[in-house]
């Protein structure tokens, strides 16, 4: 990691309420965990339960909560902040910019661009990219090597696509959309009708609409609608290995963790959170602000604002109680058999 951040640069970026100590190095060269940080690196501490690790830490800069009880060692600077995790993220943003320099505008000579495609001069198109007829790529977009932009797709300004991303025909991306490697947007929805002993394919002639500031992880698939569009709302963040079926309608600022699966025509309200490997059976609605724990599956509509677990989904408290009881079943059966035996003797 070849990075050098001056103290003034850090203080301009981090929102801190007070500071203690003195930085013993000229610049911060990286961010690491509390236990692994070395001289010249930064770390963060969110609570007093890490006090022992902090005392032993070699970090030169520590971003820590305002209520953490600790004092800096010689050559160590503490920045007191309200939200340590957020402030260290700001520092990581500075490092990210230094590490991954945005490529220069232009179209690589080994890219294949259709004659009717419109590419903004400030966009960067890498080698082996294919852009179809009628596609539009907005200002400052970056498209990684091997990616495909299908016919009549539209990318808003400042979109970033990793390597080997496929955006199939008629898909629309808003501004500042980030899509990681090997993700597919706009593949056919999974639609078949059983006829005369065979599965007859139902054409999927819809599209995908993705709002501003959406981020989509690697190897995720978002299917096109059967008729109208599949929608992903503004600010939603989707992890790796997620499947979004045809005609799903995902609201604003939702979180979908790894291996979430949404069957076709599922509707998610705004600010829905779905834990890893959770899912929905399709043609149902999950209300605003609902939270589904890992491996929770909804088979019917879920009201907004609640926390849910289990399969089928029930309130998280009920799911936790059921889990405790399930673990006790072997013992309960043994006790039941003893009671039955006693009753038979009586």
C-alpha span between 144 and 165 (Å, rounded): 8
For residues 95 and 203, membership in a common domain is answered with no
Both structure tokens of 161: 């696509």
Quick one: 89 and 216 in the same domain? no
Q: What distance in Å separates the CA atoms of residue 255 and residue 296, rounded to the nearest whole number?
A: 14
Residues 174 and 273 in one domain: yes
* 306, pLDDT greater than 80: yes
Q: In this structure, is residue 119 part of a structural domain?
A: no
Percent with pLDDT over 70 in the chain: 99
Q: Same structural domain for residues 172 and 312? A: yes
Residue 172 included in any domain: yes
Please indicate, yes or no, if residue 35 is contained in any of the structural domains.
yes
13-28 pLDDT, tens per residue?
Answer: 999 999 999 999 999 9
The rounded distance, in Å, linking the Cα atoms of 132 and 113 is 7
Instruction: Round to whole Å and give the CA distance between 217 and 324.
Output: 34
**pTM of the predicted structure, to 2 decimals:** 0.89
How many Cα atoms occupy the beta-carbon half-sphere of 120 within 13 Å?
18
194 and 59 in a common domain: no
Contact by Cβ (8 Å): 81, 65: yes
319 is catalytic: no
Residues 90 and 178 in one domain: no
Position 99 pLDDT exceeds 90: no
Could you say which of 108, 199, 246, 319 is catalytic? Answer: 246
Provide the 10 A C-beta neighbour count for residue 270: 17
Tally of domains in the chain: 2
Asked whether 234 and 210 are in contact (CB, 8 A), the reply is no
Quick one: pLDDT band at residue 97, thresholds 50, 70, 90? confident
Q: Quote the domain boundaries for residue 15.
A: 5-99
Average pLDDT over residues 29-33: 94
Q: What whole-number distance in Å separates Cα of residue 186 and Cα of residue 254?
A: 20
Q: How far is CA 72 from the centre of its chain?
A: 35
Q: What is the pLDDT of residue 1?
A: 57
Q: Would residue 272 count as lying in a domain?
A: yes
pLDDT in tens, 157-208: 999 999 999 999 999 999 999 999 999 999 999 999 999 999 999 999 999 9
Domain ends where: 99, 124, 146?
99
Distance CA 267, CA 285 (A): 5
Q: pLDDT grade, residue 254 (50/70/90)?
A: very high
């Amino acid at each position: 990691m070849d990075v050098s951040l001056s103290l003034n640069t850090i203080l301009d970026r981090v929102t801190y309420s007070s500071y203690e100590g003195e930085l013993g190095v000229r610049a911060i060269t990286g961010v690491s965990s509390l236990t692994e940080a070395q001289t010249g690196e930064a770390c963060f501490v969110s609570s007093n339960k890490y006090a022992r690790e902090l005392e032993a830490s070699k970090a030169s800069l520590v971003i820590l909560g305002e209520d953490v009880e600790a004092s800096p060692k010689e050559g160590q600077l503490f920045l007191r902040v309200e939200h340590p995790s957020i402030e260290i993220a700001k520092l990581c943003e500075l490092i990210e910019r230094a590490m991954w320099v945005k490529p220069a505008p232009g179209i690589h000579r080994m890219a294949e661009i259709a004659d009717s495609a419109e590419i903004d001069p400030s966009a960067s198109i890498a080698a082996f990219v294919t852009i179809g007829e009628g596609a539009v790529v907005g200002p400052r977009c970056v498209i990684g090597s091997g990616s495909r932009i299908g016919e009549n797709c539209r990318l808003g300004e400042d979109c970033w696509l990793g390597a080997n991303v496929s955006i199939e025909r008629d898909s629309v991306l808003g501004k500042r959309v980030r899509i990681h490697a090997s993700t597919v947007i706009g593949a056919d929805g999974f639609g078949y009708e059983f006829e005369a002993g065979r599965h007859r394919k139902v054409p999927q002639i819809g599209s995908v609409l993705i709002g501003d500031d959406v981020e989509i992880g690697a190897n995720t698939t978002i299917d096109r609608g059967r008729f109208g569009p599949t929608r992903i709302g503004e600010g939603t963040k989707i992890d790796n290995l997620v499947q979004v079926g045809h005609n799903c309608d995902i609201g604003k600022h939702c979180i979908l963790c790894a291996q979430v699966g949404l069957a076709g025509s599922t509707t998610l309200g705004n600010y829905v959170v779905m834990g890893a490997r959770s899912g929905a059976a399709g043609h149902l609605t999950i209300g605003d602000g609902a939270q589904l724990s890992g491996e929770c599956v909804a088979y019917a509509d879920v009201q907004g604002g609640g926390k849910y677990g289990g399969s089928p989904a029930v309130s998280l408290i009920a799911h936790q109680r059921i889990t405790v009881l399930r673990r006790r079943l072997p013992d309960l059966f043994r006790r039941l058999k003893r009671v039955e035996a006693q009753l038979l003797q009586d």
